Amino acid sequence: MYPISVDHPGNRGILNKMEYQWAAFSELTGDVDLVCSSNRGPILNGELASKYPITGRAFNSLNHYALFYSHIAKYAQSGDYDYLYIRYPLALPNFLWFLRKTKQANPKTKVVVEIATFPYRRELRTPKRLVLRTLDDLGHGQLKNHVDAIVTFYGQSEIFGVPCLQLRNGVDVERIHLRNATPSDDGLVMIAVGNVAERHGLDRMLRGMANYEKQSGAARTTLHVVGDGPAVGNLKILAGQLSIDRHVRFHGLKSGAELDAVFDQANIALDSLGIHRLQLPCSSSLKAREYCARGIPFVLSSDDLDFPSELGFVHRVPADDRPVDVSALVAFHTEVTRTTPTVHREMRRYAEEHLTWKSKLEPLVHYLQANTDRRAP
């Protein structure tokens, strides 16, 4: 459950994750409903559940932050649900009201809240988000009264007085296109996908490409940036200032066959290179898991327990703001191409064995089934 709109193309990444989790929960537990939002009203299993009284772009934030939970409260309070799994929307008044009313109506319903990034305060720095952050600061102390457990991906044992379940992100491997890894003489062709923000650290790669170009005998390098986001404008300016704009292609949002086609051109993918800017202790990014399922070697800058150091398809760079050493990345690509021509299939097999959402959510399901009559320890 999360009030994210299906009508905004930039939300596709989060919606994909919710759909993958829905499929895994359904396989593990049986009857599961998926709730998200739209510009018209809440969406239940792909169908419009009710209509917001006032719609239009000017009212989207009001509907998202204030009305969404009022509209779906009747479903949560119906007694039909043993468990609620909620992506954290910040501890705003309407959400806290929803939690309180749900627990009052059904005290035995287990409420689990997933906090996708923690700490998250550094992501709430625009004027609008500062208001939300203030409301969240005032409200998150109430979560312990209504929430049974918090799912975290960063190792915390407790957040806001609520015990944590430590999981890692997964993927729905069957829904991800395996890269068509055809031999190419185009040099190093990189791809970075996402809602591009400062935490993705692509400025580090642009500066690294500029440094590498100055070396004699440098191989050809290209970077495909797929997605919109707040950092795209500054990255375009930086590419021009560094005189590498001819090597950097900004595609905007892509999905389906169009996204697959860009991946098929690339031979290296970039995970977030700025995780350290959020002061996170480690990474559990969806991107890295999707890259693995696609079969494209990738770059990590932070520790990720799902990708131990002995894996030959991961190239690691320091978790700091220094430009990426592109010459080392070129050498990595050359070595992988020479020694493991079927690396895309090996990566796919690794994803199938270690990264599925079903395997990641099994511990949570076991916890819920074992604690149906008591709160988390």
Question: What pLDDT shows up at residue 376?
Answer: 42
Per the CB < 8 A criterion, the answer to whether 52 and 67 are in contact is yes
Measured CA to CA, the distance from residue 377 to residue 372 in angstroms comes to 12
Question: What pLDDT shows up at residue 343?
Answer: 95
Over residues 265-278, mean pLDDT: 95
pLDDT of residue 373 exceeding 70, the answer is no
Structure tokens at 78: 């119906």
Tens-digit pLDDT profile for residues 224-253: 999 999 999 999 999 999 999 999 999 999
Structure tokens at 273: 């290179």
Structure tokens at 261: 């086609």
- The yes/no answer on whether domain 174-354 falls in CATH 3.40.50.2000 is yes
Question: What pLDDT shows up at residue 118?
Answer: 92
pLDDT of residue 156 exceeding 50, the answer is yes
Measured CA to CA, the distance from residue 291 to residue 257 in angstroms comes to 16
Question: What pLDDT shows up at residue 128?
Answer: 81
What b/e sequence results for 358-375 when a residue is b if at least 16 CB atoms lie within 10 Å of its CB, and e otherwise? bebbeebeebbeeeeeee
Q: How confident is the model at residue 57 (pLDDT cuts 50, 70, 90)?
A: confident
Residue 285 CB partners (closer than 8 Å, separation 6+): 169, 271, 272, 275, 304
Higher pLDDT, 63 or 147: 147
Over residues 18-37, mean pLDDT: 95
Q: What are phi and psi of 79, to 5 degrees?
A: 90, 5
Element (DSSP H or E) covering residue 211: helix 202-213
CA distances from 127 to 131, 134, 142, 220 (A): 7, 11, 24, 42
Q: Where are the beta strands (DSSP E) in the chain?
A: 35-36, 43-44, 47-48, 83-87, 110-114, 149-152, 158-159, 162-166, 188-193, 221-226, 248-252, 268-270, 298-300, 314-316
Tens-digit pLDDT profile for residues 71-102: 999 999 998 899 999 999 999 999 999 999 99
Question: What pLDDT shows up at residue 202?
Answer: 98
Half-sphere exposure of 284 (CA within 13 A, CB side): 21
How high is the mean pLDDT of the chain? 93
Residue 83 CB partners (closer than 8 Å, separation 6+): 109, 110, 111, 112, 368
The model's pTM is: 0.90
Q: What are phi and psi of 207, to 5 degrees?
A: -65, -35
pLDDT of residue 374 exceeding 60, the answer is no
pLDDT of residue 375 exceeding 80, the answer is no
Q: How confident is the model at residue 257 (pLDDT cuts 50, 70, 90)?
A: very high
pLDDT of residue 338 exceeding 70, the answer is yes
What b/e sequence results for 15-30 when a residue is b if at least 16 CB atoms lie within 10 Å of its CB, and e otherwise? bbbbbbbbbbbeebee
Tens-digit pLDDT profile for residues 109-144: 999 999 999 989 888 888 888 999 999 999 999 999
Tens-digit pLDDT profile for residues 167-220: 999 999 999 999 987 767 789 999 999 999 999 999 999 999 999 999 988 999
Question: What pLDDT shows up at residue 58?
Answer: 80
Residue 1, exposed/middle/buried by CB under 10 A (0-12, 13-18, 19+)? Answer: buried
- Chain-centroid distance of CA 230 in Å reads 16
Q: How confident is the model at residue 286 (pLDDT cuts 50, 70, 90)?
A: very high
